[in-house]
Amino acid sequence: MCYIRLMQPIQDFVKILVLKRYSKNTINSYQSHLRLTRMHFENKNLEELKDKELFEFVYHLVEVKNISPSYQRQIVGALKLFYKEIYGRTIPFEYLKVQRNEQKLPIVLSKEEVKRVIDSIDNLKHKAIISLLYGSGLRIGELLELRKSDIDSDRMLIHVKGAKGKKDRYTILSETVLFILRSYYLQFKPKDYLFEGQKGGKYSSESAGQVFKRSLKKAKIGKRATLHTLRHSFATHLLEDGVSIAHIQKLLGHTSIKTTLIYTHIAKDSLFKIKSPLDK
């Protein structure tokens, strides 16, 4: 069967999500999950797949690929919505949902480790990206959508538009980052987006991830960190420096303060001042 014909339902689904005003990050995520499904079943039409085949596919991802609970929730949600919107079909996915939230704490880099990572980067564009992710607590998707006009150097703020939950917000702009950005802008002269690829257009999250991975190795940091670790580190370090949890919530754009409260379990101020009774 023609590849274009096999991909058409996914393209139609993306158009529906656009019309329903889903965020770009959600659309890209759902599209990625469906392409993975398409590749797994090779030349089989998605409409012809039985419920049992879809269940076995998710089981394969969990048991063989060892996907995380959050990834499992995302792909189950994507498939369920896709079949409802495109084929008017309800997939009984209830027992494939993750019922219990894991209580894992996010990985955080120390301030010294962040400095080592940034210092290890020679390329000015790469240094600007990693510095901005940490210095302002941005998600990678938010950073890649930035334009020059979103950087307010007079108020030392960054205007984050259409972030998660389709909400705009402001976050802080570091003086150190502003200095790096000005040097970067003079050298690279981006046209549309603040960070662009070699052939124009938005810089890719995959490329940014590879930059960070190389910088971790160069800085000799063995933690299993990702780009999102920089955001976790930003929030944790602010809390350690005495910034209120309510202000951190606003900077991160969390709808519920419960999401932000996880950083109280990591911050040194709340843990490292407690003395073991054995030491007393």
Together in a domain, 185 and 228: yes
**Would residue 228 show up in a list of annotated catalytic residues for this protein?**
yes
**Would residue 263 show up in a list of annotated catalytic residues for this protein?**
yes
Please give the average per-residue pLDDT across 205-225, as a whole number: 95
Sequence-ordered list of residues with C-beta below 8 angstroms from that of 269, at least 6 positions apart, any chain: 239, 240, 242
Together in a domain, 126 and 43: no
Together in a domain, 55 and 193: no
Q: Tokens 């390329």 belong to which residue?
A: 123
Together in a domain, 66 and 128: no
- Which one of the listed residues 73, 161, 164, 202 is annotated catalytic? 164
Is residue 230 one of the residues assigned to a domain? yes
Together in a domain, 80 and 131: no
> Residue 138 sits in a domain of what CATH number?
1.10.443.10
Is residue 20 one of the residues assigned to a domain? yes
Is residue 16 one of the residues assigned to a domain? yes
**Predicted confidence band of residue 267 (pLDDT cuts 50, 70, 90):** confident
Domain that holds residue 139: 111-271
> Residue 61 sits in a domain of what CATH number?
1.10.150.130
The predicted structure's pLDDT at residue 211: 96
Is-contact 65 39, C-beta < 8 A? Answer: no
Tell me the backbone φ, ψ of residue 19, rounded to 5 degrees: -65, -30
**Would residue 40 show up in a list of annotated catalytic residues for this protein?**
no
**Would residue 139 show up in a list of annotated catalytic residues for this protein?**
yes
Tokens of 178: 């502003």
**Would residue 59 show up in a list of annotated catalytic residues for this protein?**
no
Together in a domain, 48 and 140: no
* 3-state percent helix, strand, coil for the chain, nearest multiple of 5: 60, 5, 35
The predicted structure's pLDDT at residue 157: 96
Higher pLDDT, 68 or 145: 145
Together in a domain, 46 and 77: yes
**Predicted confidence band of residue 166 (pLDDT cuts 50, 70, 90):** confident
